[in-house]
Structure 1
């Protein structure tokens, strides 16, 4: 969209330059050597100038809006990337803290080394008939 706006504004400038440089008579309008039919008064030439100016302003507006949008998207992506990196570093610090706490607890003998050593009250390990060797 930025390119479309720049092209539109550039075309309006080219037409304005062509109108200014080619018109020597007071009530005719020619653009790049071609006479524009139906334009016979100074008021019509003035209106043509207004139309060219409107297209120029529209082109600049399109360009500025598209540029603002792309800058906003880049800023949001940068903020999301920074937030993601912060959350990853926080999770890594928490993981290291839990590992230290686990190592301290194991050193005191409070937590068995493997989870299979912990009996669960009233729970019998289910054995699949496929793996049952007593049958």
Structure 2
């Protein structure tokens, strides 16, 4: 879109230069050696100039708006990268804190780690820890 805007602005400038360079009379328009039909009065020449200026401004506006959108997208991407780095740093700090807490808890229990079998179960009964599933043993 930036290129399209620049092309429109350049075309408007080229037409303006062509009109200025090719005209010898005050009430006709010649662009690059070609007469523009339908333009016979000074008012029509002025209107054609306004049209060329409008196309030029349209091209510039299109180019600037597209560049602004690209800059906003880059800024947003940079902010997202910064936010990602901050979250990774926070997670790493939390991990280090949890590792310190775990080491402190292990040293407080005498250096032995607790397993699932060491943790008391409500009712005092332990479930059968058979590694093989009883699902296929059914005879329904």
Instruction: Classify the secondary structure of the residue corresponding to 2:103.
Output: helix
Deviation at 1:111, TM superposition (A): 8.2
Q: 1:35 to 1:100 in 2, by over 3 A?
A: same
Q: Which residue does 1:98 correspond to in 2?
A: 98
Q: 1:118 to 1:55 in 2, by over 3 A?
A: same
Q: Which residue does 1:24 correspond to in 2?
A: 24
Runs of 4+ that moved beyond 3 A: none
Q: Which residue does 1:129 correspond to in 2?
A: 134
Q: Which residue does 1:51 correspond to in 2?
A: 51
CA distance in 1, matches of 2:128, 2:53: 83
- Write the deviation string for residues 33-70 of structure 1: whole angstroms up to 9, x where unpaired: 00111111111111100000000011111111111111
* Aligned pairs (5 A) from 1:6-17: 6-17=6-17
CA distance in 2, matches of 1:110, 1:23: 101
Deviation at 1:120, TM superposition (A): 2.8
RMSD of aligned residue pairs (Cα, Å): 2.1
Deviation at 1:114, TM superposition (A): 4.5
User: Which runs of 5 or more residues in structure 2 are unaligned?
Assistant: none
TM-score (norm 1): 0.88
Deviation at 1:7, TM superposition (A): 0.7
CA distance in 2, matches of 1:29, 1:124: 98
User: Which runs of 5 or more residues in structure 1 are unaligned?
Assistant: none
TM-score (norm 2): 0.85
Deviation at 1:125, TM superposition (A): 4.3
Residue 75 (structure 1) aligned with residue 80 (structure 2): no
